Structure 1
Amino acid sequence: MSSDEIPSGSRTHNDDEAPSTSNQGRGRNLSESSDQGSKRQRTLSESFFPGLTNASPPKFVSLEEIISAAKGMANMALAHEIAVDSNFELEKREPPENSLHRRVKETMLKAFWDILSQQLQEDPPNYTQGLVLLSEIKETLLTLLLPHNTKLKEEIEEVLDIELIRQQVENGSLDFPYYANYVTSVMAKLCTPARDDCIRKLKQETDTVSVFKGILETLELMRIDMANFTIEMYRPLLVASSVDYEKSKFKEYIKVNPDGLEVTKQWLFRHVSPSTSLASADDWREVIAQAYLELLTWDDSNAFPETLVMDRSRLAELRNEVLRVTVAATVLLLVVSSVPQLQSNAAFKISLKNHMLLLLQDCHTDKDVEGVLANVSAQAVQDCNAALPEPLTPEHRTTVESQVMQVMADNHKIRLLVFQRIKEFLHLMITSTVPSQLQVPAGLSTFTKELSGLAARYHRLVSHNRSVFGEYYTDILSTFQVPNGV
């Protein structure tokens, strides 16, 4: 049997898909009630996890404690992003197109540059706005310097001496374009190659206001470049220390919000039954592993475990990717089973896989998949005809189309088998001591690239989460009690 034929059987585990709980949002701004003083504080469960109801009466804490914990959670979120996303970098944030924020920002900026232009055109020129601008530019340039740039720092301090420039203004001897040229020359020394074109255009610009406008815009980008350079340089250290940092910040959060793990408890307890053994560390790890696997079929309308909120969007994308790969692999297995001549045609299988994933790329739910099955079916037939010496007969074509159109049936054995094998593969990935040596499941070798990438991201998220919150999980499981009457 070829590696992509329909498997005749499988060593499946029992599916532990349990019902989930309520929707969970990311952090929100803290606000204060204007009611009586005793009620003005809000617990963090309301602030960071809106919609949750505490299991016990709320513990009121001071506003200062809440603000401190909020700052800690914000810093924790940034550290977490750097730790789990190897491609994380800061980007320039722009308000949405046509938003009030954007219109206000554009109006304020236009007013600033209009005032500068008007002042420079006065006789004699008025440099009030210009001095403010030069002072800001100087401070920004200094923030872009590395510790070893001592000579350049001294030069900037000397050339952009604001007091000296103010004296030049009073004497009527200020050469504003000279300072624009100096600033662009310094920027050329400090910028990354990606900003060379910006600097070159600035040097060619003759309008003074346009030059300074371009300088500020480019400096903003250079500050982001510097921040990303710093993140990349210290990434190994940040990743190494992020677990302890996140632990300490979450501990602060729990201190002011003792009931902040209610959804997490429900999530873990769903995977423990009266017959579940918790006698060994391996038993505990298995329960936690099954809880992690539940995230691959999570219903977005349900609450999310507090310990995983910062990874909710990433886990949702992994869930969606599992769905897409499952459907694409099922279609491939059905097609090569129906058209045996193509079972050993690797080029055909790669082409069909790519076409299936392309058609499914916007699918996030079963309903989304059902909406594109007609196109998937037509593409499968087209790919078969392109790879065969003779096109499929009308009867054969109808068979292929019919099989593909039934892929999302509730009890579709092949799709459920494919999902189970993917799930087992991911289970091994998060429980194995040597995950890098795992093999892709039988019948899914065409999807090695997709499954390997998916598994690597899943393993990274789970490993980091387990390192930070593993102690909380074991503490929660240690409190499990068999319900009365069971």
Structure 2
Amino acid sequence: MYYSTMLSLLLPGHVHLRAQVEEVLDLIQQQADHGALDLQRLSGYIINTMASLCAPIRDPKIRTLQDLSDPVELLKVIFRVLGLIKADMVNFTVQSLRPHLLQQAVQYEQAKFQEILLKQSVSPTFVLNRAYLRLLSWDPNNQTYPETVLMDRARLEVLEQRLSLLVLQASVLLLNSTQCGATVFSSQGFVCKLKQTITALLEGSHNR
């Protein structure tokens, strides 16, 4: 299991090291078949190989392995450190590929956007306006905010709060106009005073 994990850490250029690991693996298998497995030699080889593969940040972990004398505990910690080294290599690979993946993602999005424009004959201005309108009802808990407008997020959230307030005010005014009747609703100063009252009641409502 340890050697299969180490083999998975090797890069295509590690031809000599891969051959060496496989050779030692065959030798250990022969020893195990004859009941003569040398655990000290096995653990020593694993530790040395790990030291050549790991990032400098894992050197202290490797040094602690050399101080363990209990074979069972040593093999447990070896497997744990192997997992850390594998995670480091995966993260390094992802970071290395990230610029290429982002470029591919941009090209894919551009191609899909162009495909939509050709099929639906929608103008770019219409799409942009619709996108900004969607931002005014954006749910940050369930949707990731678009990276292209992160710099304007604060201003857009203020506009979203104002829009919500206007919708609530309009809803209350509409409800009152149908319930109170035209006579009361058309009274001088009634609508203005009602709007002021609504605004005062709804102040800070977006934080609740």
TM-score range, shorter chain: 0.5 to 0.7
The residue matched to 2:202 in structure 1 has which SS?
coil
Aligned positions of 1:81-96 closer than 5 A: none
The alignment status of 1:227 with 2:19, answered yes or no, reads no
Cα displacement (A) at 1:287? 2.2
Q: Unaligned 5+ residue runs, structure 2?
A: 112-120, 159-199
The residue matched to 1:138 in structure 2 has which SS?
helix
The residue matched to 1:205 in structure 2 has which SS?
coil
Aligned with residue 236 of structure 1, among 96, 99, 114:
99
User: Aligned pair in 2 of structure 1 residues 282, 186: CA closer, same or farther (>3 Å)?
Assistant: same
Equivalent-residue separation in structure 2 for 1:226 and 1:286 (angstroms): 43
Over aligned residues, Cα RMSD in angstroms?
A: 3.5
Aligned with residue 284 of structure 1, among 122, 127, 131:
127
The alignment status of 1:138 with 2:3, answered yes or no, reads yes
Equivalent-residue separation in structure 2 for 1:144 and 1:281 (angstroms): 47
Q: Partner of 1:202 in structure 2? A: 65
Aligned positions of 1:107-256 closer than 5 A: 136-161=1-26, 164-243=27-106
Equivalent-residue separation in structure 2 for 1:203 and 1:186 (angstroms): 13
Return the structure number with greater helix share.
Answer: 2
How many percent of aligned residue pairs carry the same amino acid? Answer: 34
The residue matched to 1:166 in structure 2 has which SS?
helix
The residue matched to 1:173 in structure 2 has which SS?
coil
User: Aligned pair in 2 of structure 1 residues 183, 246: CA closer, same or farther (>3 Å)?
Assistant: farther
User: Aligned pair in 2 of structure 1 residues 145, 246: CA closer, same or farther (>3 Å)?
Assistant: farther
Aligned positions of 1:43-82 closer than 5 A: none
Give the counterpart letter for 2:52 in structure 1. K
The residue matched to 1:146 in structure 2 has which SS?
coil
Deviations 1:406-455 (A, max 9, x none): xx96247xxx9xxxxxxxxxxxxxxxxxxxxxxxxxxxxxxxxxxxxxxx
Q: Partner of 1:410 in structure 2? A: 202
Equivalent-residue separation in structure 2 for 1:158 and 1:241 (angstroms): 40
Equivalent-residue separation in structure 2 for 1:281 and 1:247 (angstroms): 12
User: Aligned pair in 2 of structure 1 residues 299, 239: CA closer, same or farther (>3 Å)?
Assistant: closer
Equivalent-residue separation in structure 2 for 1:206 and 1:148 (angstroms): 34
User: Aligned pair in 2 of structure 1 residues 179, 285: CA closer, same or farther (>3 Å)?
Assistant: same
User: Aligned pair in 2 of structure 1 residues 293, 169: CA closer, same or farther (>3 Å)?
Assistant: same
Equivalent-residue separation in structure 2 for 1:299 and 1:171 (angstroms): 63
Give the counterpart letter for 2:19 in structure 1. E
The residue matched to 2:130 in structure 1 has which SS?
helix
Aligned with residue 137 of structure 2, among 283, 288, 294:
294
Q: Partner of 2:182 in structure 1? A: none
User: Aligned pair in 2 of structure 1 residues 247, 209: CA closer, same or farther (>3 Å)?
Assistant: farther
User: Aligned pair in 2 of structure 1 residues 292, 197: CA closer, same or farther (>3 Å)?
Assistant: same
Equivalent-residue separation in structure 2 for 1:147 and 1:191 (angstroms): 16
Cα displacement (A) at 1:243? 4.7
User: Aligned pair in 2 of structure 1 residues 194, 279: CA closer, same or farther (>3 Å)?
Assistant: closer
Q: Unaligned 5+ residue runs, structure 1?
A: 1-135, 249-277, 301-308, 327-407, 417-486
Equivalent-residue separation in structure 1 for 2:85 and 2:140 (angstroms): 41
The normalised TM-score by structure 1 is 0.27
Equivalent-residue separation in structure 1 for 2:201 and 2:25 (angstroms): 72
The residue matched to 1:160 in structure 2 has which SS?
helix
Cα displacement (A) at 1:202? 0.8
Give the counterpart letter for 2:31 in structure 1. Q
User: Aligned pair in 2 of structure 1 residues 279, 181: CA closer, same or farther (>3 Å)?
Assistant: closer
Cα displacement (A) at 1:169? 3.0
The normalised TM-score by structure 2 is 0.60
The residue matched to 2:11 in structure 1 has which SS?
coil
Deviations 1:128-168 (A, max 9, x none): xxxxxxxx11111111112221121111111122xx32332
Give the counterpart letter for 1:231 in structure 2. V
User: Aligned pair in 2 of structure 1 residues 245, 142: CA closer, same or farther (>3 Å)?
Assistant: farther
Deviations 1:181-234 (A, max 9, x none): 100110011111221111111111111111110111111111111111111111
